[in-house]
Chains A and B, each alone.
Chain A
Amino acid sequence: MRIDTIRFGPLELGEETAIQFPWGIPGFENLKRYVLLEHGNGPFQWLQAVDDPRVAFVVCPPEVLGIKYKVPRDNIAQLEVEHPDDLLVLTIVSFDREKKTPRPHLTGPLLFNSITRIAAQWSIDSRDLPKYIESVE
C-alpha cells in the first residue's frame, strides 16, 4: 500500500504492516490505520497514519523514559490479548522547543496487541497516574 506522508515523502509498505486502531485516537477518530516506522536505531519510532499524510506521533517504549505501566485487566481484555507478552505499550513523546526537553504524554499510552496488530489509546486521569506507573532503573 502507498502511504503519503508530509514528513518522509511517499512510502510503500505491505498491507500486513498496518496496525488497526478500531476506536481511533481521540482527536483523530476517523483514522483507523497506522504504521510504525523505525527512526534509525534510536529508541523512538513514528506512528504514521496511513490515511492522513499529516498525522504522525513520535513514540517510544515507556522504559526509555524510566517508567513502566501497570495495565488494568479491562484494557488488556479490550484488545483481546491472550498472553501478557503479546501486550506492547508505547508512550507518545513530543519535544518542548523552548525548554529543549522531551515531553512524554504519560496520560495517554498506546496499547498494542502485537499478535492481532490491534491497538488503542488508554486515557488515564492524571490523578490516577501514580497507581498505574512504576519507575524502572
Chain B
Amino acid sequence: MLVLTRKAGESVRIGDDVEVIITAIEQNKVKIGIRSPRHIPIYREELYQKILQENRHAVGMDTGDMDLLVDLFPKKTDAAVRKRSSLAGGKVPGSEKSETAQQDSLG
C-alpha cells in the first residue's frame, strides 16, 4: 500500500480524474474531499461492506421463498404498484397461473 503524508489543504491525485483533498485535520479525524467523475461510486468502507453483505444475502432468494413471502402480504394494486409496473419488462412465466389456482381453491 502506498502511504503519503499530506497537510490540510493538500491533495492527492489518482489517475487523471480523481482528486482527494485533505480539507481538515482534527484530533482523531481527517476530513477529506473527493473530486471524481460521476460514474465512480464513493462509499464509506464500512457502509460499502454492509450493503454488499445485504445484497449478497438478498440474491439467495428462490421462487419458493417468493411464494412464502407473497402469502404474507395482502394483494395490493395501489398507485405505487401501478406506477412501478411501467418499468416492468415482463411477467414471471407461470406466476399468474399459480395465483389463479390459489384463488380457485379459496373460492
Give A residues with C-beta under 8 Å from B: 7-9, 11, 13-14, 17-19, 22-28, 35-46, 54-58, 61, 63-64, 78, 88, 90, 92-95, 97, 100-102, 105, 107-108, 112, 114, 117, 120-121, 123, 125-126
Is A9 within 8 A of B93, CB to CB?
A: yes
CB distance from A54 to the nearest CB of B (A): 7
Give the interface SS of chain B, mostly helix, strand, loop or mixed: helix
Is the C-beta of B87 less than 8 angstroms from some C-beta in chain A? yes
Interface residue? B26 (CB, 8 A): no
Which B residues are CB-close (under 8 A) to A43? Answer: 73, 75-76, 81
Interface residues of B (CB under 8 A from A): 38-39, 41, 43-44, 47-48, 50-63, 65-66, 68-70, 72-73, 75-78, 80-81, 83-93, 95-96, 98-99
Q: In the bound complex, what is the Cα–Cα distance between A95 and B73 (angstroms)? A: 12
Residue from B41, B54, B76, B90 within 8 A of A105 (CB atoms):
B54
Cα–Cα, bound, A92→B56 (Å): 11
